[in-house]
Structure 1
Amino acid sequence: MKIEVWSDFVCPFCYIGKRRLEQALEKFEHKDDVEVIFKSYELQPHIQSDENVSVYEVLARKMGTTVEQAKAMNDQLVETAKTVGLEYNFDEVKQTNTLEAHRLFKYAEKQGKGLEFTERLMRAYFTESLFLGRPDTLIELAEEVGLDGEEAEEVLVGDDFLEDVRNDQREAQQIGVQGVPFFVFNRKYAISGAQPPELFQETLEKVWQEENETPSLQQIQTSADAACTDDSCEVTDDNN
Structure 2
Amino acid sequence: MEIEIWSDIGCPFCYIGKRNFEMGLDQFDAKDQVNVIYRSFRLDPTAPVQPEETMVELLAKKYGRSLEEAKQMNAQISDSARAAGLEFNLDTVVPSNTMDAHRLVKQAETAGKDDMAMEYLYKAYFTDNRNVADRETLLEIAGDIGLDISAVDNMFSADDYKEAVISDQNEATQHGAQGVPYFVINRKYSVSGAQPPEKFLEAMKKVQQEEESLVDLGDNQGSTCTDEYCE
State the TM-score, normalizing by the size of structure 2.
Answer: 0.90
**How far 1:52 moved relative to its partner?**
4.0
Aligned residue number for residue 129 of structure 2: 129
Contact 2:99 2:133 in 1 (8 A): no
Contact 1:52 1:94 in 2 (8 A): no
Aligned residue number for residue 224 of structure 1: none
Farther off after superposition, 156-165 or 9-18: 156-165
**Pair 1:53 & 2:53 matched:** yes
Contact 1:182 1:192 in 2 (8 A): yes
Q: How many pairs are equivalent?
A: 217
Aligned residue number for residue 216 of structure 2: 215
Higher relative contact order (CA 8 A, sep 6+): 2
Aligned residue number for residue 163 of structure 1: 163
Paired residues for 1:11-30 under 5 Å: 11-30=11-30
Farther off after superposition, 157-166 or 61-70: 61-70
Distance 1:205 1:168 in 2: 26
Rg (Cα) greater in structure: 1
Aligned residue number for residue 221 of structure 2: none
State the TM-score, normalizing by the size of structure 1.
Answer: 0.87
Secondary structure at 2:125's aligned position in 1? Answer: helix
**Pair 1:153 & 2:153 matched:** yes
Secondary structure at 2:190's aligned position in 1? Answer: strand
Q: Show CA shifts across 1:202-230 (max 9, x none).
A: 1111101111234348xxxxxxxxxxxxx
Q: Show CA shifts across 1:88-115 (max 9, x none).
A: 0123212201011111211111222111
The structure carrying a bigger strand percent of its residues is: 1
Gaps of 5+ in 1: 218-240
Distance 2:87 2:125 in 1: 11
Distance 1:60 1:159 in 2: 34
Paired residues for 1:152-231 under 5 Å: 152-213=152-213, 214-216=215-217
Gaps of 5+ in 2: 219-231
Paired residues for 1:24-39 under 5 Å: 24-39=24-39
**How far 1:51 moved relative to its partner?**
4.6
Aligned residue number for residue 236 of structure 1: none
Distance 2:199 2:21 in 1: 9
The sequence identity of aligned pairs, in percent, is 47
